[in-house]
Structure 1
Amino acid sequence: MCALCGVLGGAEHWADAHPRPGAFTRNTSPLERRRERARRVAEANRILALFGLKLSDWQGTAFRLATRTGKVELVGDLGHLWAAAERLLGRPLDPLDPVLLARLGPEA
C-alpha cells in the first residue's frame, strides 16, 4: 500500500477488516470482523509460540504481546507485531525463515 492510501484510509490498519462502504471486505458485520481478528491472532500465535511469545486481542482495539517471563507490549496493529516481538526478545526475528517455516509444517 502506498503512504497516501494509508493516510486517507482512516485509523484502521489497511489489512484489518472494516465496515466502510465501498471497501472490499467479506466481514461486514461486527461479529464477522471479530471472528477474523480472532483467526489472525490464532495464526500469529502458531508462529509466536516457537519464540515463547503469545498474542491476544486487547478490547478489539490493539493486541497484547507477552513473553513467558511476563514482559508485555501493546501493539496497535499486526503491522507492528514483529518489531514488538524483536524488542521483547532482544534479537531479530524472521517469520519467513525457511527453518521456522519447516517447523510449522506444510500448511505454513
Structure 2
Amino acid sequence: MCSLCGILGVENHWTDAVARPGVFSRNDETRSRRLERARRIRLANRVLAAYRLQLGDWQGRAYLLSTATGKTEVIDSLAHLWPAAEQLSGRSFDPLDPDLLSRLTARR
C-alpha cells in the first residue's frame, strides 16, 4: 500500500488524542492535542537518538521515521514505531534495554 492510501485509511489509534471528549483522551482542544503529540515525539526521539533515528510529525496524521542517511518511512501510529525502526536501521533493538535506560536517565 502506498503511504497516502495508508494515511487516508487509518482509524484513530489509542496513542493519539482525538477531538471527541472521552475517546482516548479528555482533550478536545486542537492546540492541546498538538502539544500532546509533540511531547510524544520528543520522548520517542530521546530513545531513537541512541540508534541514530529521528521521528517527525506529518500533518498531524502520521509520523515520519528517518535514519541519519535520509531513509524515511511513513508510519501511521506509534504502535508501528519499533518494527519500522528495526526495519530501517537493519538491526533489532529493545527500547527497554537496561543499558539504554541508564544512558537516558543520566542525560536528564
TM-score, with structure 1 as normaliser: 0.84
What stretches of structure 1 move > 6 A for 4+ residues in a row? none
Tell me the equivalent position of 2:74: 74
Tell me the equivalent position of 1:42: 42
Tell me the equivalent position of 1:104: 104
Higher RCO (C-alpha 8 Å, min separation 6): 2
1:24 CA displacement: 5.7
Identity of aligned residues (%): 55
For the residues of structure 1 that align with 2:57 and 2:90, how far apart are their CA atoms? 23
CA RMSD of aligned residues (A): 1.9
For the residues of structure 1 that align with 2:19 and 2:107, how far apart are their CA atoms? 30
- Checking the alignment, whether the CA contact within 8 Å between 1:27 and 1:36 is kept in structure 2 is no
TM-score, with structure 2 as normaliser: 0.84
| Count of equivalent residues | 99
Tell me the equivalent position of 2:32: 32
For the residues of structure 1 that align with 2:107 and 2:15, how far apart are their CA atoms? 21
Q: Which amino acid aligns with 1:30?
A: T
Listed as ranges, the gaps of 5+ residues in structure 1 are 1-9
1:28 CA displacement: 1.5
